[in-house]
Amino acid sequence: MEWLNYHHLLYFWAVARHGSVTKASEELRLAQPTVSGQIRTLEDALGEKLFRKSGRSLVLTETGHVVYSYADEIFSLGRELMDTLKGRPTGKPLKLRVGITDVMPKLISYRLLQPAFAMDDQVQLVCHEDKTERLLADLAVRGLDLVLADAPLSPGVRVRAYNHFLGECGITFFATRELSEAKRRSFPRSLDGAPMLLPTENTLLRSSLDHWFEKEGIHPNVVAEFEDSALMKVFGEYGAGIFPAPSIVEKEIRETYGSRVVGRTDEVKERFYAITVERRIKHPAAVAISEFARGQLFG
């Protein structure tokens, strides 16, 4: 049976947290050559490099990220053990690390994550927003517990992960009071030539909208495109044009942005997924999110 040297792991953990052998040595009260040597010994034992240089700093390799994730949990549990034995309250919340793709509507993300705060156990959310590819890379090395996305993993993605369908809804078009009153009566024909704010062409929603416009013979005047759906809503709030959003958050959009409904369609769907490295979701907070989405939010 192979045994891990936890002293070496501790030195690695300190360097990873500080990004510097110098600072880690000061914290550990050890000479820098001693710390560097112990990390090399750990790398030899694992058969993998854990750090690479980036300027004057040390950054984790892909394997380093995996080892750091385990080390952080090991030493956090160690602190919790000592607190428990000494009768000190641990106050440790259940942590859920979520990646949110940058095209996800912010209001949908909030509604999906809201059940985590209603759990009996305290949950600490750590949210990261980025491009899907980078989030999946973090998911693969267990830097994230799940990724929220508006599209499933494509077959060509080289990450072993699983799609968990959360639900779908139709699309509502919004605008200012004046513009909505002018365009509501003959919707959707009224969208032809109307000033329109749309997601960028690299999004699944834009592709679905373009297909629907073509089917209906509608040629909107696209005055702006956005990757950030929240920014698109702000432009719509100030009268730049009509904008689409998931119907499930219609009430919130009317209240938050003072927008009025132009019309709705169920022929264009937005679908939402939780992506994990597990075939079956196990994290308690992620389970709560999934059950709420399927049973109440989209049910």
Among 85, 108, 123, identify where a domain stops: 85
Q: Are residues 175 and 264 in the same domain?
A: yes
Give the integer Cα–Cα distance in Å for 27 and 21: 10
Query: For position 6, what pLDDT does the model report?
Result: 87
Residue 1 belongs to a domain: no
CATH at 22 = 1.10.10.10
Q: Are residues 168 and 202 in the same domain?
A: yes
Which helix (DSSP H) or strand (DSSP E) does residue 260 occupy?
strand 260-276
The pTM assigned to this predicted structure is: 0.70
CATH at 118 = 3.40.190.290
Residues 126, 95: contact at Cβ < 8 Å? Answer: yes
Query: For position 53, what pLDDT does the model report?
Result: 86
Residues 139, 147: contact at Cβ < 8 Å? Answer: yes
Query: For position 128, what pLDDT does the model report?
Result: 93
Q: Are residues 172 and 202 in the same domain?
A: yes
Q: Which domain holds residue 54?
A: 6-85
* Contacts with 263 (C-beta within 8 Å, 6 or more apart), sequence order: 172, 173, 183, 184, 187, 188, 190, 191
Q: Are residues 38 and 133 in the same domain?
A: no
Query: For position 156, what pLDDT does the model report?
Result: 75
Q: Are residues 134 and 252 in the same domain?
A: yes
Query: For position 172, what pLDDT does the model report?
Result: 98
The list of the chain residues with pLDDT below 50 reads: none
The terminus-to-terminus CA distance of the chain in angstroms comes to 50
